[in-house]
């Protein structure tokens, strides 16, 4: 992957503060304060014509006068002066500029014009820009606090494995501050502001490759380049670095998705959701949900495949609560092995439980050896991939011993272990200190503890399965320019909205089965074609000007014989003429009728502004339109993914043969989904939307056929 080299943005050897102020309580004053307080090792140059010096540093009238090369300039001047200051930076050969100043695209049209000028400058010069309207960057390992957030009033900052890229400076640095107080260490934090040049994805890409960064977290409102995001997400999987996202803007889109049209169904937050799922990206709904996950993931973890959770608890009630959440989060709560159960029963009293969740009771807690023994027995059960220990009012000396036991067992075993210690700090702080100093993740709430574990296990399992797929099969569907001459000619010869016949021809050229059909220009041709196809047949008007054939009543189904055909042929043409007197009529399409045994499904494509072609699948009729029961994927879709699209809709059992129906041909269906995806990728510059509605899926072994389809070109 060819990326921008951000080395000197994150590790600048010298920093200039332009608009530096001697008032350390202001945006222009704080960066000097923070750089010094957090121990920046490079050179600092101040630029401000109003001062001779600030805090012992000489102050230069402009960046041009700075006597040495500058890697990073921090711009804290009024928005009106930003452009001229940047021109000087470019002239000086500064590599990067972080623009704190507000007053650009976020204020409206005038600001947008000004921001465009910054964009032009970045294109024209070698100066790369971060911001404007951002809060700067902190590199915690190398002690570069090139930002002005009050969160930097905390000293020392705690380095660690989390790299954080945020589109909101204020919320982002708040999260950083909260997470630091919860003991989460960070490698870098970068606030991206309006992203006039460098964007979130550029920074995420750098962090993924950084050796100190093992988890990347991002707060996101939206990204421009979905394809770049795809490459980065794939790279994250390759490196085995979890990518966690707090993406906002769900609700607005939720209401927009009201319409039943394919276009609306691929509305943007739905696309993000589909994409996150497809790429194993962890979506969190709250700041705390991220902190909870980071706490667990930072504590060191192995990628194991498996979602079987063991729960040990001192409270039956807390165990049920934890099990509820585990199951809802996609984890499995399985029975322990018979031998494990027998062994536990020798230790715990009769009113405890050796089922999973294991209720060890207060008695076990009170016996020095018993707790450790139960813990050791359960954690070694091969049916357990990870363990959550839920403690209630276990306090004092007893609590400290229990904490020590947990630390001991954890040091001996590879499986992820987390503790929910549901009690106030006053009585448990000594116990929690034991866990903390050994790096054992702990939580107050069993629910939050289990959810964090679910994120870890779901991610690890996804990543293992992804690796197996990548290693075993050439899953990547090829979509290089194999587009044939035939396809190009076909596309060139149609209007913006292609007719059913044209669309089906295109689909057929990609190997997608369509109904047998031919265009009849007159009654005689129609009779001959129907004879060849065999009755019953359907008639549909063929006109580039009539897209809604049913509305025009220019369609007749189930024509059983020649007499009916003659009457219907005239009828279809008459209705079409009445509906649209000026429409160009190519003739009437004579089409085979399919048996009634199939199930109607819909396959749609929408060429998303950011992510490119999105593939949609759902059952036909009310399922999509009323119930919005669809699955989405960003193309290209592999065969594996096509099967998972089919299986994830709520109505899947109808395809699998519910209510005495025959199971349908899901093999052929998955094949068509992949072919549609291939076609959508190849034609992504030509195609805006495709709506195959319906595709009839026949009983197992009998294949599928496109009955109607409509393609809209870009």
Quick check: 655 and 599 in contact, CB under 8 A? yes
Among 156, 382, 396, 511, binds a second copy (CB under 8 A): 396
- 193 contacts 133 by C-beta, under 8 angstroms: yes
Locus of tokens 């509906």: 579
Q: Is 158 in the site for a second copy (CB under 8 A)?
A: no
Q: Is 686 in the site for a second copy (CB under 8 A)?
A: no
* Helix segments in 157-218, DSSP class H: 169-181, 200-209
Determine, following the binding rule CB under 8 A, whether residue 424 of this chain makes contact with a second copy: yes
User: What's the chain's length in residues?
Assistant: 714
List 594's β-bridge partners, or say none: none
Q: Do the strands 14-18 and 72-75 form a parallel or antiparallel pair, or are they unpaired? A: parallel
Q: Which two tokens stand for residue 36?
A: 């010094």
By CB under 8 A, residue 658 contacts a second copy: yes
Complex with a second copy: residue 7 or 425, whichever CB lies closer: 425
Pick one of 225, 234, 324, 592: the residue that binds a second copy (CB under 8 A): 324
For the bound state, the minimum distance from the C-beta of residue 213 to a second copy, rounded and expressed in Å, comes to 22
Contact segment (CB under 8 A) with a second copy among 137-145, 157-165, 178-186, 334-342 equals 178-186
Residues in region 448-507 near a second copy by CB under 8 A: 448
Q: Is 7 left (phi over 0), alpha (psi -120 to 50) or beta?
A: alpha
Q: What mask of x and - would describe binding to a second copy in positions 115 to 144, judged by CB under 8 A?
A: ------------------x-----------
Beta bridge partners of 690: 605, 711
Tokens representing 562 are 């020649």
**Contacting residue, 149, 213, 218, 460, with a second copy by CB under 8 A:** 149
b/e per residue 84-106 (b: at least 16 CB within 10 A): ebbbbbbebebbbbbbbbbbbbe
Q: How far is the CB of 548 from a second copy (least distance, A)?
A: 13
For a second copy, which is the closer residue by CB, 263 or 470? 263
Question: Are 22 and 34 a contacting pair, CB within 8 Å?
Answer: no
Closest distance to a second copy from the beta carbon of 544 (Å) = 26
- Given 83, 320, 355, 580, the residue binding a second copy (CB under 8 A): 320
* Residue 23 tokens, joined: 């008032």
Pick out residues in 72-111 that bind a second copy (CB under 8 A).
Answer: 102-103, 106-108, 111
For residue 181, state whether it binds a second copy (rule: CB under 8 A).
yes
Neighbours of 504 (CB within 10 A): 26
315 binds a second copy per the rule CB under 8 A: yes
Nearer to a second copy, 422 or 638 (CB): 422
Residue 178 near a second copy by CB under 8 A: yes
DSSP string for residues in 616-627: EEEETTHHHHTT
| 596 near a second copy, judged by CB under 8 A | no
Taking each helix axis from N to C end, the angle separating 109-124 and 79-92, rounded to the nearest 10 degrees, works out to: 0
At its nearest, how many Å lie between a second copy and the CB of residue 255? 8
Q: Provide the minimum distance between the beta carbon of 248 and a second copy in the complex, in angstroms, as a whole number.
A: 4
Helix (H, G, I), strand (E, B) or coil at 537: strand
| Phi, psi for residue 675 in degrees, rounded to 5 | -65, -40
Residue 321 contacts a second copy per CB under 8 A: yes
627 is a contact residue toward a second copy (CB under 8 A):
yes
| Residue 167 near a second copy by CB under 8 A | yes
Binding range to a second copy, per CB under 8 A, among 204-212, 319-327, 583-591, 596-604: 319-327
Q: Does 444 bind a second copy (CB under 8 A)?
A: yes
Cα 11 to its chain centre, rounded Å, is 29
Residue range at the interface with a second copy (CB under 8 A); choices 146-154, 462-470, 502-510, 590-598: 146-154
Nearer to a second copy, 298 or 677 (CB): 298
Judged by CB under 8 A, the stretch of 166-174, 523-531, 557-565, 679-687 that binds a second copy is 166-174
Of 659, 653, 654, 632, nearest to 644 by C-alpha is 632
The residues in 695-714 that bind a second copy, with binding defined as CB under 8 A, are none
Per CB under 8 A, the list member of 7, 23, 120, 221 interacting with a second copy is: 221
Hey, which residues between 275 and 314 contact a second copy (CB under 8 A)?
A: 285-288, 314
- Is residue 645 within 8 A of residue 615, CB to CB? The reply is yes
Number of amino acids touching a second copy (CB under 8 A): 86
- Which residues, 226 to 265, sit near a second copy by CB under 8 A? 246, 248-252, 254-255
Edge-first strand order for the sheet with 555-559 is 517-520, 587-592, 537-542, 555-559
In this structure, which long-range contacts are made by residues 149-157, counting pairs with CB atoms below 8 Å and at least 24 apart in sequence?
A: 149/173, 149/176, 149/177, 149/191, 150/177, 151/176, 151/177, 151/180, 152/30, 152/34, 152/37, 152/38, 154/180, 154/181, 155/37, 155/38, 156/38, 157/38, 157/186
Binding a second copy (rule: CB under 8 A), the pick from 64, 158, 345, 427 is 427
């Amino acid at each position: 992957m060819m990326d921008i080299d951000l080395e000197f943005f994150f590790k600048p050897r010298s920093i200039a503060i332009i608009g530096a102020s001697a008032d350390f309580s202001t945006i222009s004053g704080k960066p000097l304060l923070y750089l010094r307080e957090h121990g920046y090792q490079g050179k600092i140059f101040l630029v401000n014509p109003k001062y001779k010096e600030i805090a012992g540093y000489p102050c230069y009238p402009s960046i041009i006068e700075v006597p040495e090369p500058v890697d990073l300039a921090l711009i804290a001047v009024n928005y009106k002066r930003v452009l001229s200051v940047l021109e000087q930076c470019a002239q000086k050969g500064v590599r990067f500029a972080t623009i704190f100043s507000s007053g650009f695209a976020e204020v409206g049209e005038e600001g947008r014009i000004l921001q465009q000028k910054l964009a032009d400058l970045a294109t024209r010069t070698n100066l790369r820009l971060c911001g404007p309207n951002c809060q700067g960057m902190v590199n915690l390992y190398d002690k570069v606090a090139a930002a002005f957030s009050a969160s930097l009033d905390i000293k020392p900052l705690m380095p660690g494995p989390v790299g954080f890229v945020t589109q909101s400076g204020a919320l982002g640095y708040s999260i950083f501050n909260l997470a630091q107080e919860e003991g989460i260490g960070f490698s870098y934090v970068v606030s991206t502001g309006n992203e006039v040049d460098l964007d979130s994805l550029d920074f995420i890409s750098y962090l993924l490759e950084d050796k100190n960064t093992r988890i990347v977290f991002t707060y996101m409102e939206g990204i421009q380049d979905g394809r770049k995001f795809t490459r980065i997400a794939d790279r994250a999987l390759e490196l085995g670095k979890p990518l966690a996202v707090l993406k906002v803007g769900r609700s607005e889109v939720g209401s927009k998705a009201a319409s039943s049209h394919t276009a609306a169904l691929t509305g943007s937050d739905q696309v993000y959701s589909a994409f996150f799922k497809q790429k194993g990206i962890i979506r969190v709904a709250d700041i705390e949900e991220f902190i909870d996950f980071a706490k667990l993931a930072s504590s060191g973890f192995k990628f194991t495949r498996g979602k079987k959770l063991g729960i040990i608890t001192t409270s039956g009630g807390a165990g049920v609560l934890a099990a509820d959440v585990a199951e809802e989060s996609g984890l499995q709560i399985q029975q322990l092995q018979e031998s494990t159960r027998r062994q536990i029963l020798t230790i715990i009293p009769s009113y405890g439980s050796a089922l999973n969740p294991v209720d060890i009771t207060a008695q076990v807690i009170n016996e020095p050896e018993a707790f450790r023994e139960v813990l050791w027995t359960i954690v070694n059960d091969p049916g357990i991939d990870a363990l959550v220990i839920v403690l209630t009012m276990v306090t004092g000396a007893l609590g400290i011993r229990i904490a020590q036991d947990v630390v001991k067992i954890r040091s001996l075993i590879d499986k992820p272990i987390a503790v929910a210690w549901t009690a106030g700090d006053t009585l448990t702080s000594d116990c929690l200190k034991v866990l903390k100093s050994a790096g054992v993740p702990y939580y107050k709430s069993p629910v939050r503890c289990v959810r964090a574990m679910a994120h870890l296990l779901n991610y690890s399992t996804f990543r293992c399965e992804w690796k197996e797929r990548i290693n075993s099969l050439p899953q990547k569907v090829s979509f290089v320019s194999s587009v044939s001459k035939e396809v190009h000619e076909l596309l060139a010869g149609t209007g913006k909205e292609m007719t059913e016949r044209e669309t089906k021809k295109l689909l057929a050229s990609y190997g997608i089965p369509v109904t047998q059909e031919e265009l009849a220009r007159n009654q005689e041709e129609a009779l001959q074609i129907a004879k060849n196809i065999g009755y019953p047949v359907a008639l549909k008007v063929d006109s580039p000007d009539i897209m809604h054939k049913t509305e025009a009543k220019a369609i007749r189904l189930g024509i059983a014989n020649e007499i009916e055909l003659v009457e219907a042929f005239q009828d279809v043409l008459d209705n079409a003429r009445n509906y649209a007197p000026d429409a160009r009529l190519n003739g009437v399409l004579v089409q085979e009728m399919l048996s009634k045994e199939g199930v109607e499904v819909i396959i749609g494509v929408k060429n998303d502004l950011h992510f490119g072609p999105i593939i949609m699948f759902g059952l036909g009729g009310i399922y999509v339109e009323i119930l919005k029961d669809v699955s989405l994927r960003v193309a290209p879709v592999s065969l594996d993914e096509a099967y998972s699209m089919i299986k994830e809709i709520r109505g899947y059992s109808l395809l699998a043969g519910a209510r005495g129906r025959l199971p349908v041909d899901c093999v052929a269906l998955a094949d068509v989904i992949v072919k549609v995806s291939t076609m959508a990728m190849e034609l992504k510059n030509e195609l805006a939307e495709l709506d195959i509605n319906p595709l009839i899926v026949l009983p197992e072994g009998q294949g599928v056929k496109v009955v109607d389809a409509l393609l809209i070109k870009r």
